[in-house]
Structure 1
């Protein structure tokens, strides 16, 4: 129902179960129902305001109106982000911590990551040639775990790669989960924090040499605004916030492989590309396929937007998936069409797979450029350096209920050989 002068209110007493059953479409379904970009609902007993679209994004990323402290549930902090990490910070403290992450995003470091990604794909071929079937998502996680640790300067023995990659994957998979998936993610985070904390301690004691310029060095020796070093545990949490998102790119790579299979004309264009097509292809992967469903923030102080009252402390969710498929922003949004990005103006709020707004001043993911470079290197490998067949009989359907989601079979390929 919609009360005069108020935000449309979802009629359900609590929509938590509906969120679990509707997944990525939860916010969009209600925006259509109420013919509004904004509505109020109740999740886990708390009033929540949900918003979608470019204008909502502009408001959501206004740091004068919104803060991140208290927005991420503890269950998400204890699995995905780590407790009290950069995602939960605001103001000058956030800007200072953000500069730490942004210092890793130089052109030279991005080029290094791209090269490492290509090298690791090539090295993996030694194993794939002897395998009857390759599960691309699983292999991608291990490859990116190697890339992440090598790029960040984190020592990683070959015998522990699978274990570490699986733990990073479990943290990611715990988002939006209840029961076993949540418990697995929580245990995985505990193991990862113990591992990385020990590495940070060895760097600080001089037992382990960490080259200057690496993420390990940056986190180990970072000093806060009060000139005190990061607490060892927090340094470990933030280093994991460098490593884990790189491993998470395995999801995009799997979706990219699916796009190559379902849209063979894209493969042909990538093989003959001498310009910007690969960039457009990667951006369309990030727009079209489901990754993050929504993002949360809390109202910093009372304000009015579009005639609606936002009260201090209100929890607000921004619809990521719906905004990336908004018919007002994207022509034929439910079609996979990379060429749409040939005329995209680079808006900070209409394309938000990893958040919106300014990278330096706001809460947009600082690793967005890493994501793009890693996907580009991976798509180049899959199209120009190997031949393979997509395994018959597998289920390539994508559930929009499960969060996060993947092709159900995790994309299986066979008869892999060098091009």
Structure 2
């Protein structure tokens, strides 16, 4: 680390290096330079790249950053789109964010886990060889639809799964696969607008997440435009399907780190620790971008309004200054209290007032439940390529995780500890 101004890379532009190195781009340079950040250009635009708990605390200071103009439009078009809560600031952001936080009650989290269990068992994966990455998307799509209060018989789960997975997998791509994802996103939004219309006509189950989204009003008391409500409905559904990547990673950890699984205590809390370690160590969200709203200093470098900043989420989760032996898979490290600015797989800062993912508790719950189901199925992995290339965003095992699952006894429900 250094007290001087952030170093400037010699390369005139680092876009190709970022694409080539993916998740490791920022951390490698921070390690080489002995600093928690550096300056460069991406797509010919000046940017500061930061890593570590101090950087996360600076980045997530309330009111300091805006997400508007901070990420390429191609990414936003698939993962957020116009009117989304992530593109709001200040009171408008807190008010909309409250909609999502109110849905994360213990009762609703337990219901999500119960639905996942039912859909997992209905998929009848036991007794045959599967590719988990291919099986988990439809399971989670049906889980998401049912949890939100949308009848799966009327929602065409196969089409919805195709759309959600295209949005998740296509955000970092260019060319035909990205264009196809954009087309499927438009189809998904058209479907979601019709769901919102029907919900406002009385079709949504009372107190369901769908009803809350359809009936939400802005601070002035006006209902959200139907297109905006549709976007926010997708922001409930799509992330649940994206949890499948963490579930695939959990299976990877079970297969490649059997000693860690054997040492895991047989308690609900231990399943939470396992899931947290999966989310810490396996690559999912690489970075988060922001544009400075109010100036600040970091390591001797002054940031002014409009400056572009990227915070390395994966690099912070594996920062050697924050995590002893950071690349070792050790669920028991989460038994102890941890720095909320060091554990940032889904953002940092305050859950109530900041930009940390409001669905993080739901993610953790579903990963823990799926881990219990996997463990009860006693998975075996045939020979395959278990590598996880870091130049692919979002990352995934090359093989998709081929498994042979046994017919399990139904595991006990995972109790929620948060």
Match of 2:416?
none
Distance 1:388 1:306, change over 3 A: closer
Q: Which of 380, 386, 397 is the aligned partner of 1:407?
A: 397
Match of 1:327?
320
Match of 1:67?
66
Distance 1:356 1:129, change over 3 A: closer
Matched-pair contact (CA < 8 Å) for 1:53–1:350 = yes
RMSD: 1.8
Q: Deviations over 1:222-265 (max 9, x none)?
A: 10011111010000000100000000010000000011111112
Equivalent residues in 2 for 1:297-376, closer than 5 Å: 297-343=290-336, 345-376=337-368
* Alpha-carbon offset, residue 280 of structure 1: 1.1
Matched-pair contact (CA < 8 Å) for 2:4–2:299 = no
Q: Deviations over 1:107-158 (max 9, x none)?
A: 1111111111111111111xx3575x31101111111111111000122228
* Alpha-carbon offset, residue 5 of structure 1: 5.7
- In structure 2, C-alpha distance between the alignment counterparts of 1:177 and 1:355, rounded to whole Å: 22
- Where structure 2 has 5 or more consecutive residues not aligned to the other structure, the ranges are 410-418
- In structure 2, C-alpha distance between the alignment counterparts of 1:254 and 1:27, rounded to whole Å: 25
Match of 2:258?
264
Matched-pair contact (CA < 8 Å) for 2:132–2:401 = yes
Distance 1:192 1:297, change over 3 A: same
Match of 1:112?
111
Structure 2 residue matching 1:334: 3-state secondary structure: coil
Equivalent residues in 2 for 1:51-200, closer than 5 Å: 51-125=50-124, 128=125, 131=128, 133-157=129-153, 160-200=156-196
Q: Which moved more, 1:244-253 or 1:195-204?
A: 195-204
Matched-pair contact (CA < 8 Å) for 2:295–2:303 = yes
Q: Deviations over 1:336-362 (max 9, x none)?
A: 11111122x232201000000011100
Structure 2 residue matching 1:287: 3-state secondary structure: helix
- Where structure 1 has 5 or more consecutive residues not aligned to the other structure, the ranges are none
- In structure 1, C-alpha distance between the alignment counterparts of 2:155 and 2:234, rounded to whole Å: 20
* Alpha-carbon offset, residue 398 of structure 1: 0.3
- In structure 2, C-alpha distance between the alignment counterparts of 1:304 and 1:334, rounded to whole Å: 30
- In structure 2, C-alpha distance between the alignment counterparts of 1:279 and 1:265, rounded to whole Å: 17
Q: TM-score, normalised by structure 1?
A: 0.93
- In structure 1, C-alpha distance between the alignment counterparts of 2:268 and 2:151, rounded to whole Å: 37
Count of aligned positions:
408
Match of 1:233?
227
* Alpha-carbon offset, residue 76 of structure 1: 1.0
Q: TM-score, normalised by structure 2?
A: 0.93
* Alpha-carbon offset, residue 7 of structure 1: 2.4
Matched-pair contact (CA < 8 Å) for 1:200–1:235 = yes
Matched-pair contact (CA < 8 Å) for 2:132–2:402 = yes
- In structure 1, C-alpha distance between the alignment counterparts of 2:405 and 2:150, rounded to whole Å: 34
Match of 1:391?
382
Q: Which of 356, 372, 385 is the aligned partner of 1:380?
A: 372
Matched-pair contact (CA < 8 Å) for 1:168–1:244 = yes
- In structure 1, C-alpha distance between the alignment counterparts of 2:172 and 2:235, rounded to whole Å: 18
* Alpha-carbon offset, residue 276 of structure 1: 2.3
* Alpha-carbon offset, residue 221 of structure 1: 0.8
- In structure 2, C-alpha distance between the alignment counterparts of 1:31 and 1:129, rounded to whole Å: 45
Q: Deviations over 1:293-312 (max 9, x none)?
A: 01011100233233211011
Q: Deviations over 1:255-292 (max 9, x none)?
A: 0001111111233345x603522111111101110010
